[in-house]
Each structure stands twice: as structure tokens, then as C-alpha cells.
Structure 1
Amino acid sequence: MDVVYGKYKEIDFYNIYAPICLSNNTSSSQAYFGSKVGNYGLKRPRIYSGGYDPCFSNHPQVYFNRAVVQASLHANTNRGNSNTSVKWSACNDNILNIYNMTVTSVLPVYKKLIQGGLKIWIYSGDADGRVPVIGTRYWVEALGLPIKTDWRSWYHQHQVGGRLVEYEGLTMVTVRGAGHLVPLNKPSEALALFHSFLTGQDLPPKR
């Protein structure tokens, strides 16, 4: 895994086809599969698509560390005391390192929600290296749900927007060319997906 993560440092882990942020002010995130595995110091996702800045998360970091912003949010009332001053960052690895994971799987939760008759869609960008489609497929298939409609393409603006499969109680949708943050990478496709979910209209099965 050290070798694999070492190679991941060369690209954007959260969108494997996007350029990485080259800014010196880039906030960092340590991506790992829980504290038991290790800390590999991977960079925070910097995603570029359709004019988006690959260093986008630098901007909210600067914003949320402004004194006036923290004061308005009552987020750092002891800012004057250097011993208790808090610096906001896009990812706080300290929280992840000390978090006590008492639940090893949320599959039982999904089973209860499905039994309750809730409408559930799972969506995933197919360029996401952090939560890849194959991993999502693995846990969805582990639910053992009967297939209602087999895998098919769905279309957006006369192009393939992704793929979807319908199970009894759950639908899984992929978004072509999107990374971890689907609405950021593919905003138009994401809007079409959410619109379909809310209105009950099928995602277009053809051009």
C-alpha cells in the first residue's frame, strides 16, 4: 500500500484525470483508510473541469480564517488568546486520527431504510480515486438486492452522462468524467441527476 499511495501523490487522488494544484499555499490532507492503515500525506483535492480552479479549496481556507468571519460565526471566541486560537483547514486530520469508529459497516442502516420504503439513489463519479465506482459497486452488491433494471447508459445533452442500474429498493448512478465532487466537476450532469431523483422522471436512456 505504501507503493500505491506513493504513486497517488503524483496525481489528484480525488479526480485521477484532473491536474493537481501547484500553489505553494495549498492546504494538505492526509488520505488514508483509517488511522490503523497509516498517514500518507496526500494533497487535498484540486479539481479542474470546465474552467474550475484546481486550487479551489485554498480560497475558503483564507476566507474562514478571517477574524471577522470567525467572529460572525462565533467559531473562535478565544481568538485573542494564542494558546486557544484555531486555524481552520479544509480537512482536519487530527479529528480523523482520534475518531473512535464503533460502526464497521452501514449496510444494516441501508437495509432498514430500504425496508422503510425510502427512495434511495447512490451516485459516484467514475474518475474518483478516493471512493471509486468499483468499491461502491462492491458494497451495493453486498446488499443482495434483486436487480430491477440492468446496467444501461443515461444521456445528457446528447452525450453519455454515465451508467445506472436499478435494484429493488435502490438505484446506483455513475457520472462519467466526474471525480469525488460530482457537482463541482460536472454541474450540469449533477443537476440533471438531482432533477430526475426529485421529479421521478427517468434519466434519458438515449440521445
Structure 2
Amino acid sequence: MEELGPFRVKSDGRTLYRNPYAWNEAANVLFLESPAGVGFSYSNTTADYGRSGDNKTADDALLFLLNWMERFPEYKGREFYLAGERYADHYVPQLAHAILRHAATAGKASSPINLKGIMIGNAVINDGTDTMGMYDFFWTHALISDEAAEGIRRYCNFSAGGTDSDKCDAATTEADEALQDIDIYNIYAPNCESAGLVTPPITPSIESFDPCTDYYVEAYLNDPDVQRALHANVTRLDHPWSACSDVLRRWTDSATTVLPIIQELLKNDIRVWVYSGDTDGRVPVTSSRYSVNQLQLPVAAKWRPWFSSTQVSCEIAFVVIFSIF
């Protein structure tokens, strides 16, 4: 309700308006709250919340998709794509890999999931390059000092198994303190100054950014009337809906990199689209470029401007296309 869905929530926390850029304008979109404990999703076994992790999330999501295909068989065999952002860019490649393993065991012809590709945005895919790319982004966008950036480059080792020195800790602390009043998920956006709802609602605009949308969505999805209409929270959960759940008490496994999985997907003719916004500082475009370069893929089409239509406008992006091995 804040990004690619069909509706947005107005500032009163009760009224919806349409999102003209919703992805369901172009495709059938299935949203999955995963792992169990996120959003309205839950487990009948409370202990599950203390043993969540990458592997269990992939296994549970595969089981869900297989059951969903049985419930809606008209979607079996249709072209299927997975998409996610940030840490979901662990979930997406790992789920795609689980789908391939299932197809290999069950027989590709009998698998109901016709996986064609994955899309991962501002992707957490390789810890070392992700972190270095983040601090490089901060420096190139004048968010941290030369001294902090130089200290990070000289003294920090973000690679798997790397150890940090006291000088690295001092440099990253200085950088983090410089960012404390900035929304690093959208570095040019204002911060939300008031978490209160506004009635009557402010006239919304898809084109302008409202930093308080988290609060509108949270109020909307915790409205009992809305939950009844959505057939959600029928078990009467003991916690409210929130954008970032604190129900999960422990994460048992987290890969330091999913690049080997991405390589395996490419070898199996699964298309991979890595995309990054240019104002997100948490997993920025520099991180994506550093991580993708680790794959050492041959370039099929060099870096060039890319437009969503033939009309040139301010909505410009850049693309580089890699070929499969």
C-alpha cells in the first residue's frame, strides 16, 4: 500500500485512492507475507517464531506456492516471476532455487510453477560489497566527511569472515552519527514530523512524497472493519499489524551472499533483473553495481539510458544487460 500495490491510504488512515503505477496494471500479482509472523501471517506453533531463517522461509514459501497452485489450478504452467526488495533479495533467489530443486525432483513437466525470472530491487545479495557500496554512496552524495570515508576504506574489511579494527569502528560510528537525522531510505525526502492522522484527509498525489505514509497504512490495516473486509486476522493475533514485525525472536541462518544462487539460476535459464533506485542509501546503486560485478558476467549490451516509453522525460534510468554464461 506504499509502493507497487493497487491502492494507497490517505492521511485519515481510512480512505483509499488508486495507484496508477500499480504492478497489477501489467500482470497478476500475488503478495506473500513471509516469513510467518510478518504482517497478518502467523504460525500455529509459537516456537516457529524463534527458529525462522533463510532456509525455512524458502521451504515454507515453496509449500505455500504449491498449495496455492492446487487451490487455483488455472494459474498452473503460466509464466511466473518472483520479485522483492532489500532482504527479500535473499528470499527471492532462495525461493527460486527451491522451485528449481522441486522441479528436478518432481520432473519439470509436472511442476506447476513455470518459473521464468526474478526481479530484485536495492538488493541485499552480498554482505561485503553491499556494505562498502553503502558507505561509498554516502560519501559521493556528501552525507559523510572525507575523513570518515577514508577511515572506512583504509581500516574496514566487510568481506565474509573479515574483522574490524577499533579505527574501523570509529570511522563507521562517525559516519552513522552524521546520518542520524536523514532518512537513508530516501536521502532527499523530508522526515515525518507528526505521526498523527489528518481529517479530512490531505489531497494525495502519487507524484509527491509523503514521509508519513507508514502511519496511514498502519492505522488502516489495524482498523477492525478493514480486517473483517480483508478476512484478515481471523485468529485475533495478540499483536497489531506493523510494517516491521517484532514477533520474530530469532533468525537462525542468513547467507553472507546469494551470488552463487544467482549464478545457478542463470545457468538454468532463469532471467535475473537487478534494479536500484538512485536515492536509496541503505542498499544503494553502488552496492548493486559492486555486487553484480562480482558475478563477472559477459556484457551483452553496454551501459545506456533506458526509458519506460519512447517519450524522453525526467523519469530516466540506466541499464546494462549481461548475457548468460
Common fold: TM-score over 0.5: yes
**SS of residue in 2 equivalent to 1:144:** coil
Once the 2 structures are TM-superposed, how far is the Cα of residue 94 of structure 1 from its aligned partner? 5.3
Once the 2 structures are TM-superposed, how far is the Cα of residue 162 of structure 1 from its aligned partner? 1.5
Bigger RCO (CA 8 Å, 6+ sep): 2
Structure 1: state its 5+ residue gaps. 27-47, 80-84, 171-207
Q: Which letter maps to 2:243?
A: A
The 2-side partners of 1:11 and 1:145 are apart by 35
Contact kept? 1:126, 1:133, Cα under 8 Å = yes
2:191 to 1, 16, 20: 20
The reply on whether 1:58 has 2:215 as its aligned counterpart is yes
Once the 2 structures are TM-superposed, how far is the Cα of residue 111 of structure 1 from its aligned partner? 0.7
1:104 to 256, 260, 265: 256
The reply on whether 1:91 has 2:248 as its aligned counterpart is no
Q: Which letter maps to 2:235?
A: T
Q: Which letter maps to 1:164?
A: V
Give the alignment's Cα RMSD to 1 decimal. 2.6
Once the 2 structures are TM-superposed, how far is the Cα of residue 74 of structure 1 from its aligned partner? 4.1
Q: Give me the TM-score of the superposition, normalised by structure 1.
A: 0.60
Report what 1:139 is aligned to: 291
1:69 to 226, 236, 241: 226
The 2-side partners of 1:61 and 1:108 are apart by 37
Q: Are residues 49 and 74 of structure 1, via their aligned partners in 2, closer, same or farther at CA, if it must alter by over 3 Å?
A: closer
Report what 2:275 is aligned to: 123
Q: Are residues 50 and 78 of structure 1, via their aligned partners in 2, closer, same or farther at CA, if it must alter by over 3 Å?
A: closer
The 1-side partners of 2:210 and 2:187 are apart by 15
Q: Deviations over 1:73-123 (max 9, x none)?
A: 3426246xxxxx21221112553x622224221111111110111222111
Q: Are residues 155 and 17 of structure 1, via their aligned partners in 2, closer, same or farther at CA, if it must alter by over 3 Å?
A: same
**SS of residue in 2 equivalent to 1:138:** helix
The 2-side partners of 1:109 and 1:53 are apart by 37
Q: Give me the TM-score of the superposition, normalised by structure 2.
A: 0.40
Q: Which letter maps to 1:138?
A: Y
How many residues are treated as equivalent by the alignment?
A: 143
Which structure has the greater CA radius of gyration? 2
**SS of residue in 2 equivalent to 1:120:** strand
